[in-house]
Structure 1
Amino acid sequence: MIDQQLVSEVIESQPFPLLFLTISGAHLYGFPSHDSDYDLRGIHVLPPQKILGLYPVRETIEISEVEAGLEIDLVTHDIKKFFTLLLTRNGYVLEQLYSPLIIKTTPEHRQLRAIASNCITRNHYYHYQGFAKNQWQLFTKKNVYEVKPLLYIYRVLLTGINLMNTGRIEANLVDLNQEFNLSHINDLIELKKAESEKAIFQNTDLTFHQQEYQRLQGELETAFNNSHLPETSSAKPELNNLLLEIRKYSR
């Protein structure tokens, strides 16, 4: 984890108050390498004079920098934009919100986590199915096969299957694989963690991984067809009330 002094410096350097800040990326997914950057994700709250004025609003803040030898990639959205994304089938914002690697939290963060459970729908299937498909196409186009993209494919598929079956967000591949028990995933994780972000396969059985990719896509589709999750989110009224309450007290 990032040391506390660096965390404080990152938080204090932000131009607007933060509702929450969590760690995403390889650290959340359970396979960081020694050179993995820290992907920080969260919500900032724009003050009324920013959102009510005539000037363009900076809804998303993106910062990439190196601090104390660590590469930090920070992305935060204004609260309204983040809430709007929650009401779509965007799995990324759910994973950021429910990340157990919490840098900063607030009572409103905890309230939002409770409300957002009603944002989870069967249609999040399309997020995970589509992301895995795109990543597989990119992975197989290259002449050199890296471990990281393949781990992302497995992580996305297992997260999607688990979500359809349980309604819970779990982005950590190590924890997910305790249920799926796929030995080749453990081997990939160990290889990635022992080497670097750009670790490559020395001997790649692409046919095997293609068969696994297709099998897990099939499992994801079956889980979607059998899922008891709702078709649409019911959280909009509560999110609207929380947004108005937070805006009322923002400065």
Structure 2
Amino acid sequence: MIDDLDLDLDLHLDLTPVVAEQPDPMLFATVSGAHLYGFPSQDSDLDLRGVHLLPAADLVGLREPEETRSRTWVRYGVEMDLVTHDLRKFVRLMLRRNGYVLEQLLSPLVVHTTDAHRELAALAPGVLTSHHAHHYRGFAATQWRLFEKTGELKPLLYTFRVLLTGIHLMRSGEVQAHLPTLAEGPDAPGCLPELIAAKAEREHGSADVDHARVAADVERLHATLDAAQSASALPDAPRAHDALHDFLVRVRLGVMPAGSTALRP
């Protein structure tokens, strides 16, 4: 049950049934999306992300395994979106400079956790590389094009968020996806608090901004990200490949330390 976490949402949701309804064991489930990023609106849906564990037989037989599951429904009057990956696929994504899965794994908004979740999170620093900048740079370019096409506030905030996340990661080796926190840094445009407040009022709406000014801010942040990547102390390649392989085998075979059952966050 999410009750002590700052979701920027006036709801206390018992999400235990969501986890219990899944057909295979869940290693973890966390909140992602706008709530994690710190700019949900009153009508934002709730994005849940996690990892399920397929039986070994599902991976060695002739049938295609259900490595990714996606479901959307309404509960408590809130639209919920749940996407989970089998552990093997999730680990492979971790090794492919995928910022999305790291943000999901390390999200502080925890719905369901296990010992395996905590061990996997502890291995996350070993997959961070300077090349993760490409993920955030590419996502920012996509969101900026969407902003230019629609003029909506949401893709503009996403543009700023991913650029600032990428810069912070290159400099500190820390995955920080919360835009209000990033907005306190020296590189953040001064308009961010106002834009975040405006997003809270409506999920979809036009951005009341000086286009030339925000374009200059985005261009500056791209240059800052480039410089941060060049100066980053992060390695060129993941270092945790073998450790993740061993972890995956142990979890799949059920060889985990005592206390691997689901625990409250």
| Fold shared by both chains (TM-score > 0.5) | yes
State the distance in 2 between where 1:198 and 1:182 align.
21
State the distance in 2 between where 1:138 and 1:38 align.
22
> What is the TM-score with the length of structure 2 in the denominator?
0.90
Aligned to 1:241: 246
- Structure 2 letter corresponding to 1:89: R
Q: Does 1:156 align with 2:162?
A: yes
- Structure 1 letter corresponding to 2:140: A
Q: Does 1:30 align with 2:38?
A: yes
How far did residue 4 of structure 1 move? 4.4
Aligned to 2:102: 94
Percent identity between matched residues is: 45
How far did residue 204 of structure 1 move? 3.0
Match of 2:125 among 117, 123, 131: 117
Aligned to 1:174: 180
Q: Does 1:72 align with 2:80?
A: yes
How far did residue 196 of structure 1 move? 1.4
State the distance in 2 between where 1:97 and 1:16 align.
18
Give per-residue Cα distances to partners, 1:43-83, cap 9 Å, x unaligned: 00001221222111100000011112110011000000000
Match of 1:190 among 162, 176, 197: 197
The 3-state SS of whatever aligns with 1:179 is coil
Q: Does 1:199 align with 2:205?
A: yes
State the distance in 2 between where 1:108 and 1:224 align.
31
State the distance in 2 between where 1:138 and 1:32 align.
19
- Structure 2 letter corresponding to 1:183: G
State the distance in 2 between where 1:204 and 1:33 align.
18
1:191/1:199 contact within 8 Å kept:
no
- Structure 1 letter corresponding to 2:221: L
The 3-state SS of whatever aligns with 2:63 is coil
Runs (4 or more) in structure 1 with deviation over 2 Å come to: 1-5, 180-183
How far did residue 186 of structure 1 move? 0.5
- Structure 2 letter corresponding to 1:207: A
The 3-state SS of whatever aligns with 2:183 is helix
Give per-residue Cα distances to partners, 1:103-158, cap 9 Å, x unaligned: 0110111111111111000000100111111111121123xx21111000000000
Q: What is the aligned residue count?
A: 245
State the distance in 2 between where 1:3 and 1:51 align.
37
State the distance in 2 between where 1:137 and 1:173 align.
20
State the distance in 1 between where 2:113 and 2:205 align.
34
Q: Does 1:3 align with 2:12?
A: yes
How far did residue 199 of structure 1 move? 2.5
State the distance in 1 between where 2:94 and 2:104 align.
11
The 3-state SS of whatever aligns with 1:3 is coil
- Structure 1 letter corresponding to 2:29: L
- Structure 1 letter corresponding to 2:243: E
Give per-residue Cα distances to partners, 1:21-50, cap 9 Å, x unaligned: 100000000011110011101100001221
- Structure 2 letter corresponding to 1:8: T
C-alpha RMSD of matched pairs (Å): 1.3
The 3-state SS of whatever aligns with 1:188 is helix
> What is the TM-score with the length of structure 1 in the denominator?
0.94
The structure that is helix-richer by fraction is 1
Per mean C-alpha deviation after superposition, the further-off stretch among 229-238 and 172-181 is 172-181
